[in-house]
Structure 1
Amino acid sequence: MSEQSITKERLPFETERQDLANVAREMFARKMTNVAGGNISLKVSPNETFTYDGQTYEKGHDYLLMTPTFMSEAWYAKLSLSQILVVDLATGKKVAGEGRLTREINMHEEAYQVDPDIRVVYHSHAPNCMFWATLGMDMPNLTEVTSVNVPLGRIKCLPYREACSQELADLVHSELEKLGDKAKENIFLLNSHGVLITDTDLHAATEVLETVEWNAEIAYKQTVFKKLGVIDEYRSCGHDVVGKISSNV
């Protein structure tokens, strides 16, 4: 849900914050990121103006719910809902929550600017995806579930930019803009820095991450077979995949 009513007994965006905390914990447990980091944000807006703990939340105004810095290092993603930060998207300022904002909020903000339908930005260090990202190579998209649900032809690896830098945030913004309407449901590899998913739904984003992570392992094994001459081309859905995979693989 993107809208939340409030009562005196409930924290702002309580349901969504608890859901985000649960997702962060589960995905860490499933090794979809590591203790080196990862961060998730969710865009929400109130369906009525309300005040809580001295802070006024305006009807229809966009806020981000975001995991705090050191989500993985300090807490192994075992977050309480009060540790999910509430951020005013217009100003980038934290307005509620326990903890500090990650320095990578700039990358999240730049992604949300591209398309108002983007409601989730998810960055992780999933290990098999990191294999391709660290090489700086596009990933072949081979498994049935990814070729159907993530029909990108290949999963693009963006050029290297330093983590948390404005240069990385600007690059993400520029590359998403090139996708047009497809930007709202996309996954990029970030060179040496993992993956970045944009989506319209938090749970859909986790599905994309898990299926692409599985694809990353399959693609690695097919690449080895291809180099050994066991297969001539990548194979998917019962046929060779020709002309869809980056030539640098």
Structure 2
Amino acid sequence: MKKFDGLDQAMIERFAPRPGRRPLLPELSEKAQVALMCRMLFREGWNEHIAGHITFRLDNGNILTNPWELAWDELTASDIVTLDSSGQVIDSDWNVTPAIGLHLQLHALRPDIHVVIHNHAHWSGIWANLQRVPPVYDQTGAHCGVKLPLYNEYQGTFEDEATSLSAAEALGDSKWALLANHGSLVVGKDLRQAHLRAITLEWRSKRAYEVELAGGAVPLSDEEVEKVSITDANGFPFCWEAMARRELRADPSIVD
């Protein structure tokens, strides 16, 4: 059985919250969870002014997303916009980014994913501009596996439907990608998994940049990375909740 720091998969599953224990988070609406995700990732470096968009497909087929006008660090639950599956706004006076087409196409092409995240993140954005894939140098950068596609056919921003469709198709069944000279893209089955992938991509990129500045080193082997990446299936135990609590302590109004 694969192991991570002495913990096998059965032990990781034991760490899931159980009835009778103190709740790790208060009960949160789906819109509050999306707003928290925006705040959490902003702190991680996914923070290029008002750029970036997160979509979260609900069980009924509707999609929650952040409004175009607001930066990720100022969003609250009441700001989150509900779209139908074609991208039409259902319940908000806010606008939605013209680049939402990439997300809609990914949701249509990939029924397995419910979360799509795109922004011009700091450290992974450096590697996107270099048109290189960052090696994995440490355990934390290995949480989500080795394969990281580089989509290198930059044709402008994603307002154009043909451009966004080609990018969506190029992603294939991957969990994330670097968009050359543009930014980063992460998908996931739920917010917890997508969060781990987004923060792992940024950590992996940061560490690789720092190691190369220091003169370079030997990356982890693909085999070792795969041993660590058992966390990717469900997200690192308790990490999403801990980062959400950090944001709630800083600004309890996020859930309003």
TM-score (norm 2): 0.69
Q: Secondary structure at the match of 2:73?
A: coil
Offset from partner CA, 1:74-104 (integer Å, 9 cap, x none): xx53122221111111x22111123011111
- The AA in structure 2 aligned to 1:126 is A
Q: Secondary structure at the match of 2:103?
A: helix
Match in the other structure for 1:161: 155
Match in the other structure for 2:14: none
**How many Å apart are 1:158 and its aligned residue?**
0.7
Does 2:94 match 1:99? yes
**Unaligned residue ranges in structure 1 (runs of 5+):** 1-13, 47-61, 242-249
Match in the other structure for 1:7: none
Does 2:211 match 1:211? no
- The AA in structure 2 aligned to 1:24 is C
Offset from partner CA, 1:35-94 (integer Å, 9 cap, x none): 041110000034xxxxxxxxxxxxxxx11101111332xxx53122221111111x2211
Match in the other structure for 1:85: 81
Distance in 2, matches of 1:188 and 1:107, equals 13
Q: Secondary structure at the match of 1:197?
A: strand
Does 2:179 match 1:190? yes
Match in the other structure for 1:71: 70
CA shift in 2, pair 1:19/1:238, >3 Å: closer
Q: Which runs of 4+ in 1 moved over 6 A?
A: 237-241
Distance in 2, matches of 1:207 and 1:95, equals 30
Match in the other structure for 2:212: 223
TM-score (norm 1): 0.70
Conserved in 2, the CA contact under 8 Å of 1:66 and 1:84?
Answer: yes
Counterpart selection for 1:199 from 188, 196, 212? 188
- The AA in structure 1 aligned to 2:89 is K
Q: How many residues are matched?
A: 196
- Pair member with larger Rg: 1
Does 2:129 match 1:134? yes
**Unaligned residue ranges in structure 2 (runs of 5+):** 1-27, 226-256
Does 2:19 match 1:25? no
Distance in 2, matches of 1:70 and 1:141, equals 36
Conserved in 1, the CA contact under 8 Å of 2:45 and 2:123?
Answer: no
Distance in 1, matches of 2:223 and 2:29, equals 45
Match in the other structure for 2:237: none
CA RMSD of aligned residues (A): 2.5
Match in the other structure for 1:236: 220
**How many Å apart are 1:237 and its aligned residue?**
6.5
Distance in 2, matches of 1:238 and 1:99, equals 44
Counterpart selection for 2:107 from 103, 112, 134? 112
Distance in 1, matches of 2:94 and 2:132, equals 35
CA shift in 2, pair 1:239/1:65, >3 Å: closer
**How many Å apart are 1:26 and its aligned residue?**
2.7
Offset from partner CA, 1:151-201 (integer Å, 9 cap, x none): 234x22211231123243112221133x3xxx4xx0101112211111001
Q: Secondary structure at the match of 1:116?
A: coil
Distance in 2, matches of 1:141 and 1:99, equals 40
Distance in 1, matches of 2:222 and 2:97, equals 44
